[in-house]
Amino acid sequence: MAVPQLASALNLPTVPVGVSQSQNPSVATNSYLVVTLSSVPSGFDVSNGNYLAWCGESQNTTVDTNPKTAILYSTYDPALPVTMQNANWPKVNYVLNHKQGTPDDIQQAIWVLLNGNLYDFTGSVTTPSTLAQAMISDANSNGGGFTPSGGQVTAVVVYQDGYAGTWQDTIIEVKVPSTAPNWCGLTWGFWKNHTSVWPVYTLTMGGKLYSYQELSAILGAAVKGDDSINLAHQLIAAKLNYEMGVYVGVGSYITNADSLLAQYSGKVPLKVKNAAMVSSAADLNNYNSDGKLQPGCTMRY
């Protein structure tokens, strides 16, 4: 049985790819723009060809129709260049999966969500269409925590020079693939060094919510005799593996590790010696280490 992959785990090339953009109405009939990718290496969740596309900046930024290169970023990637970071990307992704009306209605909704208002090409505030406003209201009510999963589409930033630069940085619609239940577990060292493919960016451990910054700091911390750090390394990896669809043989191990951390009022690092934590970390390590508990599994990365 297939399980959904999340958009935040999209596998995108890290090298520049070829980009050509068109606003021609005869080409862009189902979206505001069409972007054609070229020189895309094999083995990624995008490939050479045409993608439905939308403006990712304000209305008065020029769309360059000349062939050029760009870097692709998931809108859920914490490494997204700072000028393109926006708290409303989940709402934009929600709109792309709950479209109403024409491409112009949809583009208006995207502009409002990313810029706060709809502006005409002179820079004056103008009123969105009725259907655009309906999508904006729906996204504000239901899209704040939205993450597309397998079979849905997600916005990928085609990054050229960033928000307020010379050229329009567009977004393309990329279908999120479904994964098999049989992926191999990946080690905590992998997740430490590959934050751009994390399926989620917050986790709960021991009943306490940890931010992306806290999780990254823990993965980068040396154990130095603190058994809570050793356990947290493995538990973070196990929870990220689980979010990726690696289910076999881990449920009781995660539950046990959470219960051990829940015994303490603070967050990791706890600066403790705890034999049960050492044992729990060893169990999770078997799960995380290239699928030792999952014979015949497939490596995702």
CA distances from 135 to 128, 157, 217, 255 (A): 10, 21, 38, 40
Same structural domain, 209 and 172: no
Task: Please check whether residue 256 lies inside any domain of the structure.
Answer: yes
Instruction: Identify the domain boundary among 155, 179, 203.
Output: 179
- The verdict on residue 298 lying in a domain is no
Nearest to 219 by CA among 236, 202, 206, 198: 236
142 vs 243 pLDDT, higher one: 142
State the pLDDT confidence band at 7, using cuts at 50, 70 and 90: low
Which pairs with CB-CB distance under 8 Å and at least 24 residues apart come from 95-100? 95/135, 95/136, 95/138, 95/139, 95/143, 96/54, 96/148, 96/153, 96/154, 96/155, 96/173, 97/146, 97/148, 97/152, 97/153, 98/135, 98/138, 98/139, 98/143, 99/135, 100/131, 100/134, 100/135
> Whole-prediction pTM value?
0.62
Alpha carbon distance 73, 166 (integer Å)? 19
Is there a single domain that holds both residue 145 and residue 269?
Answer: no
pLDDT at position 4? 45
Lowest mean pLDDT among 55-64, 100-109, 205-214, 287-296: 287-296
Same domain, 7 and 104: yes
Residue 77 lies in a domain: yes
Answer yes or no: do 135 and 265 share one domain: no
- Domain hosting 254: range is 188-288
> Which CA distances in Å does 65 have to 22, 35, 86, 106, 169?
6, 9, 25, 21, 12
Instruction: Return the DSSP state at 275.
Output: H
Within a domain: residue 236? Answer: yes
Q: How confident is the model at residue 18, as a pLDDT? A: 96
Residue 129 lies in a domain: yes
> In terms of domains, do 225 and 246 share one?
yes
Same domain for 137 and 255, yes or no, is no
Q: Answer yes or no: do 29 and 106 share one domain.
A: yes
Q: Is 228 found in the same domain as 146?
A: no
Query: Residues 174, 216: one domain?
Result: no
Digit-coded pLDDT (tens) for 16-28:
999 999 887 766 6
Calculate the alpha carbon distances from 11 to 80, 81, 143, 262, 300 in Å: 14, 17, 23, 34, 9
Same domain for 228 and 174: no
What whole-number percentage of the chain has pLDDT above 70?
Answer: 92
Task: Answer whether residue 293 is part of any domain.
Answer: no
Which of 179, 205, 238 lies at the terminal end of a domain, its last residue? 179
What confidence tier does 6 reach under pLDDT thresholds 50, 70, 90?
low
Mean pLDDT of 101-115: 94
Both 143 and 242 in one domain: the answer is no
Task: Specify the number of domains making up the chain.
Answer: 2
Q: Are 160 and 19 within one domain?
A: yes
